[in-house]
C-alpha cells in the first residue's frame, strides 16, 4: 500500500516533468546554437558551437593550460575563421588585426566575461567600457609617455648595474646564474621604485625573489577558474587571512602581500594629500592622485589605487622579464648572433661600463633587430584578447558577424604567420634588417604591445628596460653559455601570459670554458 502511494505520489510526476522540461530545454538550446544561431555558418567543432565548456575543458581540465595550441589546430582544420564557443569566434588572418584593434568610439570593446575574471574592474586594464577606459587611461598615460620614461633612465641604469654586479659575483664564484628570476627581479624593482619611490629589493634577494614569483604565478593560474565560474569571484573577496592560511599557502602569502600593499599605498596617498611627500622623483601615484590628470578623472581611493598597482606590477614585472629571458636564451643558443651582437656593442661602447646610454642603444640596428625578434617569440599574451563587436554586421574573410559577437586573435598565431615571418619558429634577427620591410611588418603585422586604444600603456618603459638590460648583459659578458636549459624547456602554459611549470627547468647561464 505504501509503495503504491509512493509511486503514485504527485512528487514523482513533478520530478518527471522537471526532468522532461530540462531535457527539452537542453535539446532546444543545442539545436538552436548548432543550426539556427547567427554564427551557425562559421565552421568549428560541434562541442564548441553548443557549449562554453569547450574552452573550459582546455583551460582547466587538460594536462596543460594550452588552449592557444588547440586554437591553432582548429584553424589548420577549419580555415581562417573558427567558432570556439557558442558566441565567440577566433581569427587567424593577420589582415583582420586592424579591424579589431583601432582607436575610435566604435572600436570593439573588451569582452566582460573574459576580463572580469581578473577582478580588476576599476583599473584601466579591466575596464570594458571604451568611454570609461578612455578617461582612466588618459589619467595614467602621462606617467608612461616617452618623455616621462626617459626621466626614469637613472633608475633603470641603477637597477641594471645591480643585476650586472650580481651576475659577476656569481660567475666569479663558479655558480650558474638564475636569469629566469633575475630578469623578473629587475623589472619588479624598476616598476615598484617608479610606483612607490621605494623598490621591493628583489635584486638583493639571494634567489632574486623567486618566492614572490612563485606566489604570483600560482595565484594567477586561478584566473581561468574564476572565468569559468564567475560566481566564485565575489566569494573570493570574503576570504580572510586566517582562512587563507588553512586553505592554501600561496593564497595566504598573496593576501598578506596585498595587505602590505594597501598599507603602503595608503601611506603614500596620505603623504601626498597632506603635502608631506618627500619622494626623490615623481611616481605613478603622483600622476593618479592629480585631480587634473585628465578630463573627467576622479581621484582614486586606496582600493582603486591598489587595483592599478596590481595591474602595473603584473604586467610590468612578468612580461618584460620574460622577454629578456627569451632574448638572452636565443642569443646564447646561436653563436653567430651572439658574436654579431657583442661586436656591435663593443664598437658603440669600447670600454666595459655599468651604464649604457639609452639613446645610443636604441639606434644600434642589430640590437634593435634582436629585441624585435625576441618580442616576436616571447608572446607577451600568447592567447586571444577577446573583443565585442560594436558595429552591425562586421565581415571577416567573407563571414558576416552580428553586433555583440565576441571575436579574438592571438599573438601566438599573429607572430608565427609564415607569410609574414618565414621560418616562424626560428630566431632570425636579420628579418628586421631591411628598414622598409621592417616598417611594413611593424605597421601592420607586429604588435607586441597590442594596438589601438587598448595598446599597452607601459610600452616605452618596456623598451627602456629591454635596451638597457640586454645591451648591458651582452656588452659585459661575451663568454656566457646556457646552463641546463633547452628547447623543450620553452613550452609554456597560457594564463594571460606565458608561464612555466614549477617543475620545469628555469633559465640559467654560466661562464663558457
B/e letters for 179-196, b = 16+ CB within 10 Å, e = fewer, are bbbbbbbbbbbbbbbbbb
Cell 598599507, residue located: 263
Q: By C-alpha distance, which of 33, 23, 31 is closest to 84?
A: 33
Strand order in the sheet with 177-178: 177-178, 508-511, 480-483
Give the residue among 378, 337, 368, 353 at the shortest CA–CA distance from 472: 353
DSSP states along 167-201: HHHHHHTT--EEHHHHHHHHHHHHHHHHHHSS---
Task: Look up cell 551557425; give the residue.
Answer: 40
Helix pair 335-348, 365-378: axis angle to 10 deg: 140
Helical spans, DSSP H, in 61-128: 67-78, 97-100, 112-115
**DSSP-derived pairing of the beta strands 480-483 and 394-396:** unpaired
Say whether 261 counts as a known binding-site residue: no
| Local structure of 481: helix, strand or coil | strand
Helix crossing, 179-196 with 459-476: angle to 10°? 130
| Residue 79 exposed, middle or buried by CB count within 10 Å (0-12, 13-18, 19+) | middle
Taking phi over 0 as left and psi of -120 to 50 as alpha, with beta for the rest, 423 belongs to left
Report helix, strand or coil for 21: helix
Q: Which three cell numbers stand for residue 432?
A: 628586421
Q: Which helix (H) or strand (E) holds 234?
A: helix 232-236
**Cα separation of 369 and 151, whole Å?**
25
Q: Which residues pair with 407 in a beta bridge?
A: 89, 387
H/E run at residue 86? none
Which triple of cell numbers denotes residue 455?
Answer: 595598446
Alpha-carbon Rg for the chain in angstroms: 25
Which residue reads 584553424 in cell numbers?
A: 75
- Beta bridge partners of residue 494, listed in sequence order: 498
**Binding site membership for heme: which residues?**
456
Annotated binding site: 456
Amino acid at each position: 500500500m505504501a509503495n503504491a502511494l509512493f509511486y503514485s505520489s504527485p512528487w514523482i510526476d513533478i520530478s518527471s516533468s522537471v526532468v522532461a522540461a530540462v531535457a527539452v530545454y537542453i535539446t532546444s538550446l543545442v539545436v538552436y546554437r548548432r543550426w539556427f544561431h547567427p554564427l551557425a555558418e562559421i565552421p568549428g567543432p560541434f562541442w564548441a558551437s553548443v557549449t562554453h565548456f569547450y574552452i573550459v575543458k582546455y583551460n582547466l581540465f587538460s594536462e596543460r593550460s594550452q588552449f592557444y595550441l588547440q586554437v591553432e589546430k582548429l584553424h589548420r582544420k577549419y580555415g581562417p575563421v573558427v567558432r570556439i564557443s557558442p558566441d565567440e569566434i577566433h581569427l587567424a588572418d593577420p589582415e583582420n588585426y586592424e579591424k579589431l584593434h583601432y582607436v575610435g568610439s566604435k572600436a570593439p570593446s573588451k569582452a566582460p566575461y573574459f576580463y572580469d575574471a581578473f577582478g580588476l574592474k576599476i583599473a584601466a586594464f579591466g575596464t570594458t567600457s571604451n568611454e570609461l577606459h578612455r578617461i582612466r587611461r588618459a589619467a595614467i598615460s602621462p606617467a608612461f609617455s616617452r618623455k616621462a620614461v626617459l626621466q626614469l633612465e637613472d633608475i633603470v641604469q641603477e637597477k641594471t648595474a645591480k643585476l650586472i654586479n650580481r651576475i659577476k659575483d656569481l660567475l666569479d664564484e663558479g655558480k650558474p646564474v638564475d636569469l629566469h628570476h633575475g630578469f623578473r627581479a629587475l623589472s619588479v624593482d624598476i616598476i615598484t621604485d617608479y610606483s612607490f619611490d621605494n623598490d621591493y629589493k628583489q635584486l638583493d634577494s639571494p634567489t632574486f625573489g623567486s618566492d614572490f614569483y612563485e606566489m604570483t604565478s600560482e595565484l594567477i593560474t586561478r584566473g581561468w577558474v574564476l572565468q569559468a565560474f564567475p560566481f566564485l569571484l565575489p566569494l573570493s573577496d570574503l576570504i580572510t587571512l586566517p582562512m587563507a592560511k588553512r586553505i592554501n599557502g600561496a593564497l595566504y602569502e598573496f593576501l598578506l602581500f596585498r595587505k602590505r600593499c594597501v598599507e603602503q599605498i595608503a601611506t603614500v596617498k596620505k603623504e601626498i594629500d597632506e603635502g608631506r611627500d618627500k619622494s626623490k622623483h615623481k611616481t605613478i601615484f603622483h600622476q593618479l592622485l592629480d585631480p587634473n590628470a585628465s578630463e573627467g578623472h576622479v581621484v582614486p581611493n586606496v582600493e582603486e589605487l591598489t587595483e592599478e598597482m596590481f595591474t602595473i606590477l603584473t604586467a610590468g614585472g612578468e612580461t618584460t622579464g620574460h622577454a629578456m629571458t627569451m632574448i638572452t636564451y636565443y642569443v646564447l643558443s646561436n653563436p653567430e648572433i651572439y658574436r654579431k651582437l657583442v661586436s656591435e656593442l663593443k664598437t658603440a661602447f669600447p670600454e666595459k661600463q655599468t651604464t649604457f646610454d639609452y639613446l645610443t642603444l636604441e639606434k644600434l640596428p642589430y640590437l634593435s633587430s634582436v629585441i624585435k625578434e625576441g618580442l616576436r617569440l616571447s608572446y607577451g599574451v600568447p592567447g586571444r584578447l577577446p573583443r565585442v563587436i560594436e558595429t552591425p554586421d562586421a565581415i571577416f574573410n567573407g563571414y558576416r558577424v552580428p553586433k555583440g559577437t565576441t571575436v579574438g586573435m592571438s599573438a601566438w598565431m599573429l607572430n608565427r604567420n609564415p607569410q609574414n615571418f618565414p621560418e616562424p619558429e626560428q630566431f632570425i634577427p636579420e628579418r628586421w634588417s631591411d628598414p622598409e620591410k621592417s616598417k611594413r611588418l611593424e605597421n601592420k603585422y607586429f604588435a607586441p604591445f597590442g594596438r589601438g586604444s587598448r595598446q599597452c600603456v607601459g610600452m616605452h618603459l618596456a623598451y627602456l628596460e629591454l635596451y638597457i638590460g640586454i645591451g648591458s648583459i651582452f656588452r659585459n659578458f661575451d663568454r656566457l653559455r646556457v646552463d641546463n636549459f633547452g628547447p623543450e624547456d620553452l613550452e609554456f602554459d597560457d594564463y594571460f601570459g606565458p608561464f612555466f611549470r614549477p617543475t620545469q627547468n628555469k633559465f640559467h647561464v654560466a661562464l663558457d670554458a
